[in-house]
Amino acid sequence: MKSSKRSKLQIHLAFWILYYILEVYLDFYWSRFQFPDFKWQLRLQNSLALELVYFLVKIPLAYSLLFVYEKVHLKRVFKYILCSIIVFAAVLVHRFYTHYLIYPHIYGIMETLDGRQPSGYMNGLVAFNSFMDLIFMTGLIFGIEITRQKNILKEQISQLKSEKLDQELSMLKAQINPHFLFNTLNNIYGMALKKADETPDVILQLSKVMRYNIYEAAEKNISLAKDIENIKDFIQIQKIRHHNLTVQFHENIDNPSQEISPLILIQFVENAFKHGVSESLGNTYINIDIQLKDQILFYSIENSKEGKAHQDSTKIGLRNIRRQLELLYPEHILTVEDKSDKYIVKLTINFHDTFNS
């Protein structure tokens, strides 16, 4: 709020300084035709002085009109009436300054229409000139202020969209399979009863996965190397449950520090285990291929399956993943092939075209 007020003050101050310089220049330019006998030093001095005098009416006029304009609860007809009264009063004051102060005390002469005929206080032509001078200034200040308010509104909308996106992503991440932890703990419990030698290693891997999900995944982006390491830990834990499983993992990464949103890639692996391997009775396989070349990610997962169970059981999970990809990487390419005996997912992300690069 303070930053917004400070910005408004700076913008308006800059406007009045530039406007003053413009008006002084215009008056100084035209005074050489209106007062050809005056030296340029005197004409410049007069221009500087008279524009300061006009500011006594222009600044109150500008902010009075802005005040009425910003009264959102005031009916439009009342706004028009108030603005008309304010402008009319400003024209009267402007004419008073011009006729009784500027000409006799700054120029040292009486105001005239054509250099010979005396001008009245509210002559139609000079009154119109005063009106146009004030309206020109009013249009400028309104343009500045409306533009400033629109920019603030755009920033607020952008911030709200960003906050909404972050909240939605947090909710989507929270929907990641919660059964993984319970299943793994049950497996560790069974291994502990059998006093299996692999128990400490499994506990360590589970600890790494949970640390990643709790702490690392809270970050907006993470290195691709860390994300792949988490996938490998996840696979090692899952192998405990699936003894007839063959996993082939191929990676070719030219930039391990490339940043990516966490928990995107692993969801496809989770689906492969949960809805492919877990629902198969015989020998099963999962083939994972991940490549990164020139900031373009190619990711594919192929897993065996039986029947059509996979098609119905992955709808929610796949919808979750698609939504995250739409929010984070709008230009991604995701293809899903559901065949009778296998399920193939292919994902391409061009990090050149995303804000995550």
Q: What is the pLDDT of residue 252?
A: 95
What is the pTM assigned to this prediction?
Answer: 0.53
DSSP H or E run through 73? none
One digit per residue, pLDDT tens: the chain, 357 residues? 556 677 888 889 999 999 999 999 988 888 888 777 888 888 898 889 888 999 999 999 999 998 888 876 778 888 889 999 999 999 999 988 888 888 888 877 777 665 555 666 677 788 888 899 999 999 999 999 888 888 887 887 776 666 666 655 565 555 555 556 776 787 788 778 878 777 888 888 888 888 887 777 778 888 999 999 989 988 888 887 777 788 999 999 999 999 998 888 988 888 888 776 765 666 789 999 999 999 999 999 999 887 554 455 455 567 778 887 887 888 899 999 988 888 899 999 999 866 444
What 3-state DSSP class applies to 340? coil
Q: How many helices (H) and strands (E) does the chain have?
A: 10, 7
Interatomic CA distance for residues 298 and 256, integer angstroms: 14
Four-residue CA torsion sign, 267, 268, 273, 274: positive
pLDDT of residue 164: 61
pLDDT (0 to 100) of residue 261: 87
Residue 257 to residue 277: CA distance in whole angstroms:
31
CA atoms within 13 A on the CB side of 96: 8
Q: What local confidence, expressed as pLDDT, does residue 58 receive?
A: 92
pLDDT of residue 160: 64
pLDDT at 357: 42
Domains plus CATH for the chain?
A: 2-166 (no CATH), 177-353 (3.30.565.10)
Q: And the tokens for 357? A: 């690069």
H or E element, residue 336:
strand 333-338
Say how far apart CA 274 and CA 321 lie, in whole Å. Answer: 15
CA 54, CA 27: separation in Å to the nearest integer? 12
Rg (CA), the chain: 37
Q: Which amino acid is at 51?
A: E
Phi and psi at residue 356, to the nearest 5°: -85, -10
Which residues have CB under 8 Å from 18's CB, separation 6+? none
> How confident is the model at residue 179, as a pLDDT?
58
Residue 183 CB coordination number (10 Å): 18
